[in-house]
Structure 1
Amino acid sequence: MHETLAELRAAIHTLLKVLDPEQVRALRAAPSRLDAPELREWTYLPGSRPGLSTEGLDGVQREAADAVLAAAHSARGAELALGAIEVERHRRESVGAPGPDRYWLRLLGDPDGDGPWGWRMNGHHLAVHVLVAAGELRVTPHFIGSEPARITTGPQAGRRLLGPEEDLARELVTGLDRARRTAAVFAAEPPDDVLTRADPFADPGLLPSGLSYGAMTDPQRQLVERLVRRYLDRAPAAYAQACWSELEARGLDTLSFAWAGATAPGDRHYYCVQSPDFLIEYDNTQDDGNHAHSVWRHLRHDWGIDLLRAHYTDQHTAPDPGAELDE
C-alpha cells in the first residue's frame, strides 16, 4: 500500500506543477472538512461538476490528469477508467458532436499533510472517489459506464469495455438449473438503471436477495468469485486483496447473485451481487441493450467514511463525528 500511496502523491504533485494558479484554485475548490455532506453528492450523468475541468487542459496537463486517474487503480482498472473516457469520445463523434472531453478533477485536503486527503474525477459514465488516511486507501463509490456497450463502427468496432463484466454474469445465469434460476432471476423486465442510482449511501435493501452462494454448485461459485474479483481488482492490489480477505473472513456464503431480463447476448438485462460489506450492480438496458452501467459500492468504506470517522474521533475535531458522518 505504501508504494501505491507514494505513486498517488507523486501523480498529484506532477499535476500541480503543470497547472497555472487559476487552475490550481479550481482543482482545490472544496470544503475544509472531507466529511462535508456536499462531498457525498455525485452523478454519472452528463453535466458540469465542481473542480478543474479537463476541457481546457493542454496536452501535458491532460497527461498529468490521466496519470492521477491511473494511479488509484490497478493496470486493469486504469484501462477501464481511461476506457470510459475513450468510449465517451467515440459516442460524441458518432452523433456528430465531437469536442473536448469534459471531466472534473477535485483535490481534497493536503497530500503532504498528516490529515486525510483525496481526490475525485467525475463526468459522464465515470465516477472515481479516492480518500487516503492513516496509510490506507478507499476508492468507492466506483462507477464505470460504456455508451455504447459494444462499439459497432470506426477503428474501435467490436470493442466492449465492460464485456467481461457482462459475460461472466451471463455464463453464471445461463448455467443454472431451473430451480436455481428461479431463485436468481427476479424479473423478466430489467430495471432501467442500477437500483442504487447515485445515492449518497448505498441501500442494500433496494436489491433483490437472489441466489445465495451456498446454494450454488462449485463451478457456479467459481464464476461468482471471478465476477466479484473483476470488480474488486479495479483497485490497487493491496486494497483489492484486503476487500477479498474481508469477504473470506465473513464467509463466501454471505454472497448472493440476482439477475433480471433476458439472457441472450444483446438482450436488455441487469444483475447484482451483494454481501454484508459491498454491493455490485450492472445494467445494460438503455439504447436497446447497448448502453452499460457498472458500479461497486462498499457499505462501510464509501467516501472513506470509516477512515474519516477514525481520524476525526482521534483528533477530537468534532463533538459527535459518527452522527455527522452517518447523516
Structure 2
Amino acid sequence: MTIRNRTPGPRIWAACLLIPVALVAVARGAGPDTTANAGSAGLVPGVLDAASAAQAFIATLDQGARAKALYPLGDEEQFGWYYTPVERNGLPLADMTAEQRAAAHDLLQSALSSQGYHKANAIIELERVLGILEGRPERRDPENYFVTIFGEPSPGGAWAWRFEGHHLSLNFSSPSDVLTVTGPAFMGANPARVPSGPKAGWRPLGREEDLARTLLLSFSDEQRGRAVISAEAPSDVLTGNDRRARLDAFEGLPADAMTEAQRTILFDIVHEYVGNMSNDFDWMTRVRNEIPAGDIHFAWAGSPNPEEGHYYRIHSPVFLIEYDNTQNDANHVHSVWRDLENDFGGDALARHYEESDHH
C-alpha cells in the first residue's frame, strides 16, 4: 500500500458558524462470548471487521484516489477535524465509483451500530433538506463527505480512519488488536426538526434532546438550582473542534445527588451517544459500575422549553458529552462525544509508538 505524506490544503470556513460534537466510545467486545467467536487469531470481531473493511476499500482505489484518501499514521491531518462546511482533504463520496461507495459504507457500518449508521445517513440526507430550505441546493451537497485512512489497516497493527463532512465527524483509531477508540465523534442536525415538506417533523437527533429535558424536568427545585449553570445557552459547544477537549471545571448536578430513576435517565442519555458505535459494552459498564457517581455531572444552560435555546453537557474525568441547540431559532443541533483519555487513539496510540521498533 502506498501512503503519501501530503500537506493539508487550505481550510476555508463558511460564513455560518456550526458547532463540533464529538461522540467517542471504546469498544472491545459485546459481552462474555465475544472472544470465543473472535476466530483463530483471538481478535475482537469489530476490530477485525473494520480492518478488513478498510483493506477492501483501499483495494478499490486507483493511484489518484489513494493519493487523496491515504496518509501516514500520525500525520497532522489525522488530528484536524471539522463539522462545518469547509474544504477538506480525503476522498469524497462525489469522486467515488459505485464500488468504492459501497466499500466506504461497509467500512462505516463496521464501526457504527445500526442506530449510529442510520443517524449518520440521516445527517447526510439533511443536506438536501437544508439546501431546499435555504434556496441554495448547490451549496448543500450530500456527496461532500470524505473518507480518510491513516496508516496501514491490519487486525494486529495500529491505524486510524475518519468519515467527515458537514455536521458529521467520526474519528476511529485502532492502536492494537484489542482496542478500538472512537472519538471525537460529532453529529449535528440542521434543521433539528424539519419544518415542512415530505419530511416535516423529522428529528434525526431528537432523542438526545428529549431525554435530557426529561431529566431536567424531573429535578426538584434544589436539584435544578445546582444543575442549571446559566439562564442563557452558549452559541455552540464549548470545546469546539479542539484537538484536546478541555473545560475549566466540573459544573452541574453530580449523579450521586440524583435519585435512582434520575440516574437511569442520565445513563440513557449516555447510551444514546455511545450506542451509536458498533459496540457500547465497555463504556456503559464503566459509566454504571466503574466511574464514581459523584464524578459524573449533568449541567444545563438556557431555557427548559422546547424550541427555545438550550445546552447541556455530561462531564466526567474520562468522557464528555456536549449538546447545543441555539442557532436558527433553536432548530440547529450540535452534539459531540469526547473520550478525554483516548481521543484520536490517545494514550494507547502513544504507547504503540513507544513500543514499536519502526517508530
TM-score (norm 2): 0.82
Q: What's the offset of the Cα at 1:110?
A: 0.7
For the 8 Å contact 2:91–2:146, the answer to whether it is kept is yes
Q: What's the offset of the Cα at 1:64?
A: 2.3
What secondary structure sits across from 2:46 in the alignment?
helix
Distance 1:178 1:270, change over 3 A: same
For the 8 Å contact 2:231–2:303, the answer to whether it is kept is yes
Cross-structure match for 1:305: 346
Name the CA distance, whole Å, in 2 between partners of 1:303 and 1:70. Answer: 19
Cross-structure match for 1:145: 188
Q: What's the offset of the Cα at 1:123?
A: 1.2
Distance 1:97 1:66, change over 3 A: farther
Cross-structure match for 1:127: 169
Cross-structure match for 1:22: 64
Bigger proportion of residues as helix: 1
For the 8 Å contact 1:66–1:82, the answer to whether it is kept is no
Cross-structure match for 2:136: 97
Name the CA distance, whole Å, in 1 between partners of 2:278 and 2:284. Answer: 12
Residue 284 of structure 2: which of 235, 238, 244 is its match? 244
Amino acid at match of 2:98: G
Distance 1:38 1:108, change over 3 A: closer
Residue 295 of structure 2: which of 244, 254, 261 is its match? 254
What secondary structure sits across from 2:337 in the alignment?
strand
Q: What's the offset of the Cα at 1:18?
A: 3.1
Describe how 1:183-262 pairs up with structure 2 within 5 A.
183-205=226-248, 209-237=251-279, 240-247=280-287, 248-262=289-303
Corresponding position: 1:117 with 2:156: no
Amino acid at match of 2:190: E
Amino acid at match of 2:260: D
Amino acid at match of 1:62: R
Distance 1:74 1:292, change over 3 A: same
Name the CA distance, whole Å, in 2 between partners of 1:89 and 1:138. Answer: 31
Distance 1:177 1:112, change over 3 A: closer
Corresponding position: 1:71 with 2:110: yes
What secondary structure sits across from 1:190 in the alignment?
coil
Describe how 1:284-323 pairs up with structure 2 within 5 A.
284-316=325-357
Identity rate, percent:
36
The C-alpha deviation readout for 1:274-297, integer Å capped at 9, x for no partner, is 111000000010000000011000
Amino acid at match of 1:17: A
Cross-structure match for 1:169: 212
For the 8 Å contact 1:48–1:104, the answer to whether it is kept is no
111-120 or 152-161: bigger deviation: 111-120
Q: What's the offset of the Cα at 1:208?
A: 5.2
Name the CA distance, whole Å, in 2 between partners of 1:57 and 1:289. Answer: 35
For the 8 Å contact 1:204–1:274, the answer to whether it is kept is no
Distance 1:95 1:154, change over 3 A: same
Q: What's the offset of the Cα at 1:198?
A: 0.4
Distance 1:93 1:66, change over 3 A: farther
For the 8 Å contact 2:171–2:183, the answer to whether it is kept is yes
Cross-structure match for 1:43: 82
Amino acid at match of 2:191: P
Name the CA distance, whole Å, in 1 between partners of 2:53 and 2:132. Answer: 30
- Relative contact order: is structure 1 or structure 2 higher (C-alpha 8 Å, sep ≥ 6)? 2
Name the CA distance, whole Å, in 2 between partners of 1:134 and 1:80. Answer: 28
What secondary structure sits across from 1:280 in the alignment?
strand
Name the CA distance, whole Å, in 2 between partners of 1:56 and 1:98. Answer: 19
What secondary structure sits across from 1:186 in the alignment?
strand
For the 8 Å contact 1:27–1:51, the answer to whether it is kept is yes
Q: Provide the aligned C-alpha RMSD in A.
A: 1.8
Q: What's the offset of the Cα at 1:37?
A: 4.2
Name the CA distance, whole Å, in 1 between partners of 2:164 and 2:77. Answer: 14
Name the CA distance, whole Å, in 1 between partners of 2:95 and 2:278. Answer: 29
Which stretches of structure 1, 4 residues or more, deviate above 4 A after TM superposition? none
What secondary structure sits across from 1:48 in the alignment?
coil
Task: Give the paired residue count.
Answer: 312
Q: What's the offset of the Cα at 1:10?
A: 3.0
Q: What's the offset of the Cα at 1:70?
A: 2.1
Distance 1:181 1:221, change over 3 A: same
The C-alpha deviation readout for 1:291-313, integer Å capped at 9, x for no partner, is 00110001111000222112112
For the 8 Å contact 1:48–1:123, the answer to whether it is kept is no
Q: What's the offset of the Cα at 1:36?
A: 4.0
Q: What's the offset of the Cα at 1:91?
A: 1.1
TM-score (norm 1): 0.90
